[in-house]
Chain A
Amino acid sequence: MYSEKFQKSLAAVEAARDKNIAYEPARMTAQQKEDLLAAYHPDYKQDEFDTLKIGPNKGDKVPKELAATLQAHSRITADSVDLCTPDYDVDVLIIGGGGAGASAAIEANEAGANVMIVTKLRIGDANTMMAEGGIQAADKPNDSPAIHFVDAFGGGHFAAKRELLSKLVCDAPEAIQWLSNLGVEFDKDENGTMITTHGGGTSRKRMHAAKDYSGAEIMRTLRDEVLNRGIPVVDFTSAIELILDENGNAAGAVLMNMETKELLVAKAKTVIIATGGAGRMHYQGFPTSNHYGATADGLVLGYRAGAKLLYAETLQYHPTGAAYPEQIFGALVTEKVRSIGAKLVNAKGEVFMHPLETRDVAAASIIRECTTRENGVDTGDGCGVWLDTPMIEKIGGEGTIEKRIPAMMRMFEKYGIDIRKEPILVYPTLHYQNGGLDIDADCMTTNVKNLYVAGEAVGGIHGRNRLMGNSLLDIIVFGRSAGQNAAKACKDITVGKLTLDHVASFEKEIADAGIVTDTVSPKLLPDYTRRK
Chain B
Amino acid sequence: MENMVNIYLFGKKYEVPSNLTIMCAMEYAGYQLVRGCGCRNGFCGACATIYRIKGERELKSCLACQTKVEDNMYIATLPFFPLVKQVYDMEKVKPTDAIMMQLYPEIYACIGCNACTKSCTQGLNVMQYIAYAQRGDFEKCAEESFDCVMCGVCSSRCPAGISHPQVAMLARRLNGKYLAPECAHLNDRVQEIKDGTFVELIEALMQKPIEEIKELYNNREIEK
Interface residues of A (CB under 8 A from B): 27, 29-30, 121-122, 124-126, 129-130, 137-142, 144-147, 149-151, 153-154, 158, 162-163, 166, 169-170, 173-174, 176-177, 180-186, 188, 190-194, 198, 203-205, 211, 213, 215-217, 220-221, 224-225, 227-228, 230, 236, 258-259, 289, 291-292, 326-328, 331-332, 406-407, 410-411, 414, 525, 527-530
Contacts and interface: CB of A to CB of B under 8 A. Distances in A.
Interface in B34-48: 34-35, 37-44, 46
Nearest to B206: A162
B94 to A, nearest CB: 12
22 contacts: A30-B218, A121-B34, A121-B38, A129-B39, A130-B44, A140-B185, A153-B217, A158-B210, A166-B202, A170-B202, A183-B174, A188-B180, A192-B181, A193-B185, A211-B146, A215-B43, A225-B90, A259-B35, A291-B44, A410-B122, A527-B32, A529-B30
Interface of B: 19-21, 24, 27-35, 37-44, 46, 66-68, 85, 87-90, 122-123, 142, 146-147, 149-150, 169, 172-177, 180-187, 189-190, 193, 198, 201-202, 204-206, 210, 213-214, 216-218, 220-223
- What are the 3 tightest A-B residue pairs by CB atom distance, in nearest-first order? A183-B173, A154-B217, A192-B181
Contacts of B182: 192
Contact of A125 (B44, B90, B204, B217): B44
B220 A150 contact: yes
B16 to A, nearest CB: 9
A146 B198 contact: yes
B223 A205 contact: yes
Contacts of B20: 327
A527 B37 CA distance: 12
Contacts of A406: 146-147
B213 A144 contact: no
Nearest to B165: A220
A203 B174 CA distance: 34
B183 A292 contact: no
B176 A180 contact: yes
A293 B32 CA distance: 13
Contacts of B21: 327
A228 B184 contact: no
A334 to B, nearest CB: 11
Given A139-B185, A191-B181, A530 B193 contact: no
A131 to B, nearest CB: 9
B186 A194 contact: yes
B139 to A, nearest CB: 10
B66 A414 contact: yes
Contacts of B27: 528-530
A193 B38 contact: no
A297 to B, nearest CB: 15
Contacts of A529: 27-28, 30-32
Contact of A129 (B44, B172, B221): B44
B220 A203 contact: yes
Contacts of A220: 150, 169
B198 A230 contact: no
A236 B44 contact: no
A221 B183 CA distance: 19
| Most chain A beta carbons < 10 A, residue from B42, B44, B66 | B44
A216 to B, nearest CB: 5
A121 B177 contact: no
| Most chain A beta carbons < 10 A, residue from B20, B38, B216 | B38
A227 B191 CA distance: 30
Contacts of B216: 150, 154
B208 to A, nearest CB: 9
A213 B147 contact: yes
B221 A216 contact: no
B184 A166 contact: no
A407 B39 contact: no
A182 B170 CA distance: 11
Given A122-B38, A205-B223, A130 B43 contact: yes
A173 B172 CA distance: 21
Given A30-B218, A139-B185, A292-B40, A221 B176 contact: yes
B213 A158 contact: yes
Contacts of B206: 162-163, 166
A122 B32 contact: no
Contacts of A291: 38-41, 44
A24 to B, nearest CB: 10
